[in-house]
Amino acid sequence: MSTELDWSNLSFGYIPTDYNVRCWYRNGKWGEIEVSSSEYVNMHMAATALHYGQEIFEGLKAFRGKDGKIRIFRLDANANRIIDSAKGIKMAPVPVELFREMAIKAVQLNARFVPPYGSGASLYIRPIELGMSAQIGVHPSSEYLFMIMVMPVGPYFKEGFKPTNICIMREFDRVAPKGTGRWKVGGNYAASLEAGERAHELGYSAVLYLDPKEKKYLDECGPANFFAIKNGRYITPASESILPSVTNNSLQQLARDMGIEVECRHIELDELNEIDEAGACGTAAVASPVAEIDDIDTGVKYVVAKDGQPGPITTKLYNKLRAVQLGEEPDVHGWNTIVEE
Ligand SMILES: *Cc1c(COP(=O)(O)O)cnc(C)c1O
């Protein structure tokens, strides 16, 4: 049974699907996988997730390929990353095998929501883990709920693959130098909301954060990593306060495959004068090209896309990654997990 949705006009937002999958960690071990059709979580009002932010998540996608098969992109990379996040804030790590099994199950159970090939839409997979023990004392929870929900989301670039403007703002940091920025923690997002809303009000699509210690180097764009093309090389910030984006990692590999050199290193703000292309990368958009970077505090404007068009290397990398996700090109790095229906 397929589903009648206007796939190409879906936005990135919550849509109920048929089932979600859940697993509890209690008495020092993970239990059985449960299938639920409830959209609610029944939790104790004293749960650590609610009081002390013991909450982590992931974001990945499944695609209907050219051959009609469903592919989940980089399942293992996301499974490994949520383990790092769990360890980072003292939660029980979800074993890779359990993560895999639950993600595949969530997609299979909701297969009718996987958008058709050619629609530009995909099935977004959102795993979350919550500290569930009722306690008011500040220490890690002893019980956890790990669950995976899925929902169809529309194509990111509805009006085409066009560059947008982003801004630099020094008034807010989203993370601390040796803080939780390297993990996918919900609290990092709470810390970015004020700056994000201000940026949107000023007409920017995102904030490009500077490193929180010296405010000298580039960090990342809120929920997306930053990359630039300089003299034909792919450059991206190395920083202890940014999240290792799976998309960024994939783009780096594709760049190397194309013979493009990759540099992961500190990028000073001034270097923005010397770049030829720039983009924000993440699961939602793959790569979102940047037109101009405005430094709100100094008034300096770094014009990246001089003709207002996405750069050639950004475009090539974007197309290549999409083609691998959709099964249009060989998956030479073994990034896709085919889901049996
Ligand atoms: C999820 C996320 C990204 C993007 O990571 P992908 O794995 O490419 O989706 C970038 N930065 C932050 C802070 C994130 O939470």
Sorting pLDDT into bands at 50, 70 and 90, what band is 2?
low
Task: Residue 312: count other Cβ atoms within 10 Å of its Cβ.
Answer: 11
- Ligand 1 atom 1, closest CA: 223
- Judge whether 130 lies within some domain: yes
Collapsed DSSP state (helix, strand, coil) of residue 152: strand
CB 122 within 8 A of CB 153: yes
DSSP per residue, 125-148: EEEEEEE--B--SSS--S-EEEEE
Q: Ligand 1: distance of its center to the CA of 134 in Å?
A: 30
Number of structural domains in the chain: 2
Q: Ligand 1: distance of its center to the CA of 73 in Å?
A: 14
- Judge whether 107 lies within some domain: yes
What was the pLDDT predicted at 155?
Answer: 85
From CA 191, how far away is CA 166, in angstroms rounded?
18
Q: Ligand 1: distance of its center to the CA of 225 in Å?
A: 7
Quote the distance between the C-alpha of residue 130 and its chain's center.
18
Quote the distance between the C-alpha of residue 33 and its chain's center.
25
Is 312 in the same domain as 265? yes
pLDDT tens-digit readout, 30-56: 999 999 999 999 999 999 999 999 999
Domain C-terminal end among 153, 172, 199: 153
Is 190 in the same domain as 124? no
Relative to the CA of 222, which ligand 1 atom is closest? Answer: 13
Give the orientation angle of helix 312-325 with respect to helix 246-257, to 10 degrees. Answer: 110
CATH at residue 233: 3.20.10.10
Sorting pLDDT into bands at 50, 70 and 90, what band is 3?
confident
Structure-token pair, residue 200: 């949107």
The reported pTM is 0.97
pLDDT tens-digit readout, 61-82: 999 999 999 999 999 999 999 9
Which of 55, 122, 184 most suits a substitution to test ligand 1, by most atoms within 8 Å of the C-beta? Answer: 184
Is 107 in the same domain as 214? no
Choose among 110, 135, 138: nearest CA to 125: 110
Task: Residue 1: count other Cβ atoms within 10 Å of its Cβ.
Answer: 4
Is 138 in the same domain as 14? yes
Is 143 in the same domain as 184? no
Is 174 in the same domain as 146? no
Is 148 in the same domain as 168? no
pLDDT(154) > 60: yes
168 strand-pairing partners: 295
- Ligand 1 atom 12, closest CA: 223
- Judge whether 2 lies within some domain: no
Task: Residue 177: count other Cβ atoms within 10 Å of its Cβ.
Answer: 13
Sorting pLDDT into bands at 50, 70 and 90, what band is 160?
confident
From CA 235, how far away is CA 278, in angstroms rounded?
9
From CA 34, how far away is CA 30, in angstroms rounded?
12
Which domain does 207 fall in, by range?
A: 164-325
Cα-Cα-Cα-Cα torsion 290, 302, 273, 311, nearest 10 degrees, comes to: 30
Is 110 in the same domain as 230? no
Sorting pLDDT into bands at 50, 70 and 90, what band is 191?
very high
Surface-to-core class of residue 117, CB atoms within 10 Å of its CB (0-12 exposed, 13-18 middle, 19+ buried): middle
Name the one residue in this structure whose structure tokens are 């799976």.
246
- Judge whether 338 lies within some domain: no
- Judge whether 1 lies within some domain: no
